Amino acid sequence: MKNIILFLFLFFLNSCGYTSIYKNQKSQDFQINIIEMTGDNVINNLIKNELKFYSNRNSNIKYDISINSNYQKVIVSKNSAGVATDYKLIAETVISFDKDDKDNILNFNESINIKNNSNFNEQNNYEKNIKKNFASTISNKFIIKILNKK
């Protein structure tokens, strides 16, 4: 009985047409050169590290990119004592690149609302993780965009 269920599951999964959007990304043949980074250094460096994974130094297709990122921590609400209880973290990134003598500019915006934590270290670590997630999401969106422009 277990074998039949397993077989049916694999059959339906295979027949549904599911393919990962990242399936062929590693095999893409392009080189990413970061020529300028301005704005928030932490997010810029995280994006740079993410993009290195996709870059092939031996490729003839080259993207020269500039990254400009802005990170904000905005107070959304305060309690009756005037202490911030909720924040909105916002990352705005503009990536401009040259491809085939055309200038391309892509804007990426990520945001999340978080509660204030009374433990400063936990709050700081949580915000660092959110920045990493923002950078990873922005990098993935950028890669998808340039793959679609090819």
Domain regions of the chain by residue span = 26-149
Token pair 């400009």 is found at 68
Per-residue pLDDT tens for 112-144?
999 998 898 999 999 999 999 999 999 999 998
Per-residue pLDDT tens for 46-101?
999 999 888 888 888 888 899 999 999 999 999 999 899 999 999 999 999 876 55
Beta partners for residue 27, in sequence order: none
CATH number of 26-149: 3.30.160.150
pLDDT attached to residue 145: 87
Per-residue pLDDT tens for 14-57?
655 555 555 454 446 788 899 999 999 999 999 999 998 888 88
Contact at 8 Å (CB) between 106 and 47?
Answer: no
Contact at 8 Å (CB) between 42 and 133?
Answer: no
Radius of gyration of the chain (CA): 21
Q: Which amino acid, 120? A: F
pLDDT attached to residue 72: 96
